[in-house]
Amino acid sequence: FRDVRSFARAEIVKIDRSEPDENNPYNVDVSVHLEILDGEQKVQAHVVTFGGDDNMPKDMFYRAGDVVFIGISAAGGAEGVDYIHIYDVDNSAGIIFFAVLLLAAILLVGRIRGIMSILAFVATIFLIFYLLIPMTLQGHSPLPVAVAICIVAVIVTIPIILGFRKKTLAAIAGASSGIFIATLLALTAGWIMRLTGIVTNEMMTVFYASVTDIDLRGLALSSIIIAALGAIMDVCISIASATEEIFKVDPEISFGRAFKSVITVSSDMLGATLNTLLFAYVGTSLPLVLLIALKMEPGIPITMVLNYNPVLSELVKSAVGCIGMFLSMPATAIICIRLHSGGGRSAHHSATEVKV
C-alpha cells in the first residue's frame, strides 16, 4: 500500500509516562497529548503512545508546551484512527532570529557588498538543491554538476567581494585551478580507496526505494569538492589582494621578488587557515570522532578504525580540501603577478635596472 501522509504542526499539551516494569525498569510507555495547530485537522486533539527508553539522554525527550512537526497517516491504521508520527521540535522562531542577527552583523560590517555575498551564497545553495539534488535523483552523475556549481559560485561570488579588477580575474583563475585539482584528487581517492561516503540507514532506504540508480560514490566525491570550495576561495581572495597591495607599493617590482613576498604572506596565512579548515571539519564531525573513540576497543588496530568508510571519507575530505587550498595559492600568485606586471615584460626591465 502507499502511505499517503499529510504534515502539520502540533503543540504538546502534556506527556504521561507509565511506571517502569520491574522486570525491565528502563522500558516505559509514553503518551503524548497533542493539539494540532494547522492543516486539515486543526484544533483536533490526538494522543500518541509509544514505547520508550527511560534511560535516554534528557535532551531526547519532548516537553509539554513544545510545538512539533507531525505526520498524519491513515494507511494501515485501524478504522477511524490515524497514525501520528512525531518529528522535530519547531524552531522556526530561532532560525529567523539568528538569520536576522547574521544579516544585521553583515550589513554593519560588510555593508552592501556583504549583503551581495549572502545573495551569492543563497544562489549557490539554490543551485545545489534545485539542480544537483534533482539531477542526482534522476540518475545523473553528481560530480560534473557539483564542479560546475562550484565554478559558477566562484565566478559570481569573487567579483561581488573584490569588484571588477585584475586581482578578481586572478582570484577566479586561482580558485578554479584549486577546484580542478581537488576534483582530480577526489576522483583518484574514490577510485583507489573505493569511497562510498557516509552511508546511513536512512540513505540506504532512499537508495533502495528510489526508482533510479543513485551514484553514492559520485555524491560522496561531490561533497568533498563542495566542502573545499570555501577554503579555496578564501585563500585565493587573500593572495590576490596581497599581491595587488605589493604592486601598489612598488609597481616596478620584479617577478621573483613579488612572488617571494606573496609566498611569505601566504605562509604566514597558511597556519591560521589550515587550523580554521581542520577545526571546521572536526567540529562538524564530532559524532564521527565519538564513533572513532567507541570503535577503539582493546585489540582493534588503529588502521582498522581509519579504514572504516565514514571515517575514511572525512579524512579524504580534509586532505583534498587542504591540498586544493595549498596549490591554489601559488597559482593565484603567479597569475596575479603576471597581470600586474604586463606578462613579465616590465618586471624583467625592472630587474635589469636594479642590476645596473
Chain segment 79-89, per-residue pLDDT in tens = 555 677 888 88
Give the pLDDT band of residue 345 (cuts 50, 70, 90).
Answer: very low
Per-residue confidence (pLDDT) for residue 200, from 0 to 100 = 55
Q: Are 102 and 114 in contact (CB under 8 A)?
A: no
Average pLDDT, whole number, for the chain?
Answer: 77
13 near 64, Cβ under 8 Å?
yes
pLDDT above 70 coverage of the chain, percent: 76
The closest of 342, 292, 344, 339 to 166, measured between CA atoms, is 339
Measured between its terminal Cα atoms, the distance across the chain in Å is: 88
- Label the pairing between strands 45-53 and 67-73: unpaired
Measured between alpha carbons, how far is 337 from 114 in angstroms, rounded to an integer?
27
Kindly report which listed range (166-170, 234-238, 263-267) carries the lowest average pLDDT score: 263-267
pTM of this structure: 0.69
**What is the per-residue pLDDT across 310-326, written as a single tens digit (0 to 9) for each?**
777 777 877 888 888 88
Quick check: 14 and 63 in contact, CB under 8 A?
A: no
Indicate if the pLDDT at residue 350 is higher than 50: no
Residue 169: per-residue pLDDT: 92
**Cβ 62 vs Cβ 31: under 8 Å:** no
pLDDT in tens, 58-81: 555 778 888 888 887 765 555 555
For residue 124, the one-letter residue type is: T
| Residue 12 vs residue 306, higher pLDDT | 12
pLDDT for 151 equals 92
**What is the CB-side half-sphere exposure of residue 182 using CA atoms within 13 A?**
37
Distance CA 291, CA 279 (A): 17
Over residues 76-114, the pLDDT tens digits come to 555 555 677 888 888 899 999 998 998 888 888 877 777
Nearest Cα residue to 332 out of 176, 104, 114: 176
Separation between Cα atoms, residue 144 and residue 218, nearest integer Å? 9
CB atoms within 10 A of CB 316: 21
